[in-house]
């Protein structure tokens, strides 16, 4: 009986005092942040962005990264498709490429949706160029019955990226998404 009464008292105390304590701690954090001057906030933001840029540079230079698409579109001016499958990836790792992406084949309608689901260790003309907005990684690879595909990955400073896949037979297909590190 004594344990039950202690449990009920603790429950009542936590129920009524818990939100008040959380509100006070949130106000303290807000007050602490508002004490920072405008210049200090700019310095903290600049330091955070410089750190993100340094990490992105190291990911690109080591050639160990993964592109995770969110949208795809056949160029020029095709319909945009939103991609929600986490298994759709484009990976560069140790000089090899692995790709698992939906692809739109055909020059004129009706187009057919296919998958590029393969890998290649033979990457030709691999170029990594740093621009003022980020990086451009481009290379070509021979996939599926000797068709030469060209891959161009434009990576901006904040880990957003655009992948364009082109070949001689079909229209270009463009993907937008994010870049992450492969461990």
Alpha helices in the chain (DSSP H): 2-35, 38-61
- Which residues are CB-neighbours of 82 under 8 A, at least 6 positions away? 70, 71
Average pLDDT, the chain: 82
Percent of the chain whose predicted confidence (pLDDT) is above 70: 80
Q: Which one, of 128, 125, 116, 141, lies nearest residue 64 by Cα? A: 128
- Is residue 88 within 8 A of residue 69, CB to CB? The reply is yes
pTM over cut 0.75: no
When pLDDT is cut at 50, 70 and 90, the band that residue 27 belongs to is low
3-state secondary structure of 31: helix
As a whole number of Å, the end-to-end CA separation of the chain is 56
Please classify residue 7 by burial: count the beta carbons closer than 10 Å to its beta carbon, then call 0-12 exposed, 13-18 middle and 19+ buried.
exposed
Q: Give all domains of the chain, ordered by start, each with its CATH number.
A: 2-57 (no CATH), 63-181 (2.40.128.410)
Comparing 17-31, 94-108, 117-131, 154-168, which segment has the lowest mean pLDDT? 17-31
Q: CA–CA separation, 120 vs 140, rounded Å?
A: 10
Q: CA–CA separation, 36 vs 72, rounded Å?
A: 42
For the stretch 150-159, pLDDT in tens is 999 999 877 6
For the stretch 88-105, pLDDT in tens is 999 998 888 999 999 888
When pLDDT is cut at 50, 70 and 90, the band that residue 23 belongs to is low
């Amino acid at each position: 009986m004594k344990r039950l009464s202690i449990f009920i008292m603790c429950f009542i105390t936590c129920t009524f005092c818990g939100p008040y304590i959380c509100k006070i701690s949130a106000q303290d954090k807000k007050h602490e942040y508002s004490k920072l001057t405008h210049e200090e906030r700019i310095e903290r933001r600049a330091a955070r962005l410089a750190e993100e840029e340094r990490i992105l540079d190291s990911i690109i230079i080591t050639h160990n990264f993964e592109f995770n698409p969110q949208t795809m579109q056949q160029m020029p001016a095709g319909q945009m498709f939103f991609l929600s499958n986490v298994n759709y990836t484009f990976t560069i790792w140790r000089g090899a490429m692995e790709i698992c992406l939906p692809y739109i084949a055909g020059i004129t309608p009706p187009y057919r949706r296919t998958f590029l689901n393969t890998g290649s260790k033979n990457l030709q003309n691999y170029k990594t160029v740093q621009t003022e907005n980020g990086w451009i990684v481009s290379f070509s690879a021979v996939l599926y019955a000797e068709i030469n595909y060209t891959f161009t990955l434009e990576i901006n400073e904040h880990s957003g990226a655009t992948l364009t896949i082109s070949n001689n037979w079909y229209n270009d297909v463009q993907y937008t998404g994010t870049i992450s590190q492969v461990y």
